[in-house]
Chain A
Amino acid sequence: MTAASRPVPAFARALPGGPTVGAVVALVVLIAVNAIFTPNFATASNAWNILWQVSSVVLVAVGMTLVIATAGIDLSVGSVMAIAGAVVATHIGLGTPVALLLALIAGGAVGLVNGTLIARGAIQPIVVTLATLIAGRGLAQVLSNDGQLVSVRDATLEVLGRGRLGPVPIPVIVAAVVVIVAMIVLRATPFGRYVLAAGGNPEAARLAGVPVRRTVITVYALCALLAALAGVLEAARLGASDAAKIGLNIELDAIAATVVGGTALTGGRATILGTVVGALVMQVIATSFNMLFIPYAWSLVLKAAIIVVAVYFQRPKLV
């Protein structure tokens, strides 16, 4: 008898795995409609193509989902991608493993700064990560000789970015592994429970012995680490680091995927699978509009409409 029970619309109800009915229905309808009306849509190669294109958004959005579960937000992910891309391109001379490691460390460091300022400095996440969004993009351009395109020729990177295992692009495999690990972490580890507890009621969590600050810092570090991984894959795919372009506006796609999938911006609830569905919805729209020669701008309008509908059904209950 506590909260007023406004009937939850069928759309916003969560399926056992976490994603909302609405997101899954939207994805199924989009795929079905496209399979019928869009030439060459229902082909294996197009399917792998869509998955390939969505993989970097998925990597970033998984981290974003964890951050949003703590009632936070991370706007700096695109800049972190650019930094990681720049680091790997400019340090490839040290050997591929070292360059990859340095890129991930550089990205993760940005996350540690974010998390520390948010958890210890008690500054609002949107402000902190807006600052690192701006600074990070600048840093990435400084790293790559004042924003020039740095091309990178490396066999390992080429495989990472463009290679396939059978028909499956390597970035898709990387994203799939990250998704599965993230699902296990969120569901079955104490850390996963702490993320949801810290987002649901931080004071109660602290009094129950949950290391709230450490959890928040870890979440931002993980988010940045995943963004760095996405940045490396993106640079590998392009065969170059473009500090001005890599990861531009990806924070918006990642937030949209998270929200459309059923993770609440108010924290305390999260679904990794939902985020994947959300990202796929967005990607299918973009790809099919492209294949149908509809101007790109219209796909932005449709995406926006879907985001508004998703958030509308998740709005806080009124008493």
Chain B
Amino acid sequence: MEGIVKRFAGVTALDGVHFELRAGEVHALVGENGAGKSTLIRIMTGAYRRDAGEMFLEGAPVSFASPAAAQAAGIIAVHQEIHLLVHRTVAENIWLAREPRRWGLVDWPRMFRDTASLLLDLGIDIDPRATLGTLRTAQRQMVAIARGVSLGAKVLVLDEPTSSLAEREVALLYGLIRRLKQQGTAVVYISHRFDELFTICDRVTVLRDGRHVATRPIAGLERLDLVCLMLGKSREALAAGATAFTEHAERPADETPLLRASALRRGRKLQGVSIQVKRGEVVGLAGLLGSGRTETARAIFGADPPEQGDITIKGQPFEPRSPSAAIAAHIAFVTEDRKAEGIIPDMSVRDNLTLAALPALTRLGIVDRARQRQLVDEYMRRFGIKAASADQKIRELSGGNQQKVLLARWLCTRPELLIVDEPTRGIDIGARREIQTLIDELAAAGLGVLMISSDLEELVEGSSRVIVLRDGRDVAELGREALSQDAIVHAMASGSATAPAEGAPPA
């Protein structure tokens, strides 16, 4: 792709970007939100038309009028949200609209046979007759990739492929990607996680503000250099460490903890979790996917009330019947899934930001516009929320800015306990650092923070203590001095901070 330009209503989203992809390579595409990654991908896969520039596939100039045309040429995108039919079988999904036929009817035996051999080829262990809805996310993703391969993919675009996968599933995905590589398929790999880039990718292209910054081989590239390229800053300007947390001073022990939850149970996911959070503390909550981290947060917040267990807030018993009850007890919860559980897409930034604070803003049954505007202005300035105006619809904002609006939504309610679930997932580095700094400041100002994260670096650098969950139980607590990525991984795997758990084999 040479000199690609794309403008939206006068705003230049891509300005002369070039991008080169070789057969059989895994090429990372990185950049902050707004750098132009998605736009470039959309042009590559035919979803957008370019305004200028040229595109070549195997040396021949190409121009795709639609995603279907790009697919026919062998360029296939597997999106973050996987577009498949959940009620149909794996085989039907793979051959959708291309079902093998016999005398005009669907040739079911052949379809299942072909699927089985395709999956075998790719080393994917999934039953072709399984209904898609019964599969885990990772397996669905593999089905989507298999569909791409069956379409004759020369270029496969993976957009944040690991964002909802557990560690073990990531390894499976890597295996699949390596196999595709051997077969000569080129993979464009978009991810915010550095570990992944350095593990699986051969080269990396960095975009910034719609421009091409650099294309480098991954081997020999230092992480810090990559961060510098993405942010457009010099090495010296960056403090050591990729996260923005400052070292936590050990805080004087408050007599009564802000939150004390003991032996929370709910169904199979929560089997006895106990947690304490004091004022001014950031308590990290670590664990693999399915270990009960989000379930713990939802139980405390009353989104899925616990079936057993006690919670006290500032020493007073608290029953989390509903989110409103939790809000009344000054608990705030920034959810993991911004799109499904956070934003109201069609509402403005203003309405989204003040949604939880409306009762406090209401005078005589009418929302006090002046106070609302004041609050919105204050938070937009303080958090550096980039929006055309407070009236802009939130769905038009970047992920990082949406996350800031959601954080602001909760701070408006003047919480004492802030629960954040994967606060920086899928967010570009710049906004990520801002959000981490903010969490730090909030704790310093006396809030208790419970931070769920899959990012070990974030946990180690951001937390005063880390509690590790495994299979719905808290299995280890790591204080400041014992805290390291190694220690967390060890606890997640073996079930204790130092020694293997009694009886249970490591996952």
Quick check: is B359 within 8 A (CB to CB) of the other chain? yes
Contact with A along B339-359 (1 / 0, CB 8 A): 011111111000100011011
Q: In the complex, what's the smallest C-beta–C-beta distance from B425 to chain A, in angstroms?
A: 16
Q: Is the CB of B347 within 8 A of A208?
A: no
Contact with B along A277-319 (1 / 0, CB 8 A): 0000000000000000000000000000000000000000001
Q: Which of B292-344 contact A (CB under 8 A)?
A: 301, 303, 323-324, 327, 333, 335, 340-344
Q: Is the CB of B366 within 8 A of A204?
A: no
- Of A1, A268, A319, which one neighbours B347 at CB under 8 angstroms? A268
Quick check: is B183 within 8 A (CB to CB) of the other chain? no
| Interchain CA distance A204-B344 in the complex, whole Å | 7
Q: A1 — which chain B residues lie within 8 A by C-beta?
A: 13, 33-34, 38-39, 398
Q: Is the CB of A189 within 8 A of B367?
A: yes
Q: What is the chain B residue whose CB lies nearest that of A319? A: B47
Contact with A along B24-41 (1 / 0, CB 8 A): 000000000110001100
Q: Is the CB of B323 within 8 A of A207?
A: yes
- Of B8, B301, B324, B365, which one neighbours A5 at CB under 8 angstroms? B8
Quick check: is B409 within 8 A (CB to CB) of the other chain? yes
Quick check: is B179 within 8 A (CB to CB) of the other chain? no
Q: Is the CB of B346 within 8 A of A268?
A: yes
Q: What is the chain A residue whose CB lies nearest that of B327? A: A209
Q: B346 — which chain A residues lie within 8 A by C-beta?
A: 196, 200, 268-269
Quick check: is A58 within 8 A (CB to CB) of the other chain? no
Q: A4-B47, A208-B409, A268-B347 are in contact. Are A203 and B324 (CB under 8 A)?
A: no
Q: What is the chain B residue whose CB lies nearest that of A266? A: B346
Quick check: is A206 within 8 A (CB to CB) of the other chain? yes
Q: What is the chain A residue whose CB lies nearest that of B342? A: A204
Quick check: is B455 within 8 A (CB to CB) of the other chain? no
| Interchain CA distance A209-B322 in the complex, whole Å | 8
| Interchain CA distance A209-B359 in the complex, whole Å | 10
Contact with A along B44-85 (1 / 0, CB 8 A): 000110000000000000000000000000000000000000
Q: Is the CB of B8 within 8 A of A196?
A: no
Q: A200-B347, A208-B323, A268-B345 are in contact. Are A2 and B367 (CB under 8 A)?
A: no
Q: A210 — which chain B residues lie within 8 A by C-beta?
A: 355
The tally of CB-CB contacts under 8 A between chains A and B is 85
Q: What is the chain A residue whose CB lies nearest that of B48? A: A4
How many residues does chain A have at the interface if contact means C-beta atoms less than 8 Å apart? Answer: 27
Contact with B along A91-110 (1 / 0, CB 8 A): 00000000000000000000
Quick check: is B395 within 8 A (CB to CB) of the other chain? yes
- For B343, B355, B398, the residue with the greatest tally of chain A CB atoms inside 10 Å of its CB is B355
Q: A189 — which chain B residues lie within 8 A by C-beta?
A: 362, 365-367
Q: Is the CB of B356 within 8 A of A208?
A: yes
Q: A1-B33, A1-B34, A208-B356 are in contact. Are A190 and B362 (CB under 8 A)?
A: yes
Q: A2 — which chain B residues lie within 8 A by C-beta?
A: 395-396
Q: Is the CB of B396 within 8 A of A205?
A: no
- For A2, A3, A205, the residue with the greatest tally of chain B CB atoms inside 10 Å of its CB is A2
| Interchain CA distance A268-B346 in the complex, whole Å | 6
- For B13, B33, B34, B323, the residue with the greatest tally of chain A CB atoms inside 10 Å of its CB is B323
Q: In the complex, what's the smallest C-beta–C-beta distance from B354 to chain A, in angstroms?
A: 8
| Interchain CA distance A188-B341 in the complex, whole Å | 24
- For A194, A196, A204, A205, the residue with the greatest tally of chain B CB atoms inside 10 Å of its CB is A204
Q: What is the chain A residue whose CB lies nearest that of B410? A: A208
Quick check: is A211 within 8 A (CB to CB) of the other chain? yes
Q: A1-B33, A1-B398, A190-B362 are in contact. Are A200 and B344 (CB under 8 A)?
A: yes
Q: Is the CB of B345 within 8 A of A200?
A: yes
Q: In the complex, what's the smallest C-beta–C-beta distance from B105 to chain A, in angstroms?
A: 30
Quick check: is A193 within 8 A (CB to CB) of the other chain? yes
Taking A200-B347, A205-B344, A207-B341 as given, write out 7 further A-B residue pairs in contact, using a Cβ cutoff of 8 Å, ordered by the A residue number.
A3-B395, A188-B367, A190-B358, A196-B344, A196-B351, A201-B340, A207-B342
**A–B complex contacts, Cβ < 8 Å, 25 sampled:** A1-B13, A1-B33, A1-B39, A4-B47, A189-B366, A189-B367, A190-B358, A193-B347, A193-B358, A193-B367, A196-B344, A196-B346, A201-B343, A201-B344, A203-B340, A204-B335, A204-B343, A205-B344, A206-B303, A207-B301, A208-B409, A209-B323, A209-B324, A209-B327, A319-B47
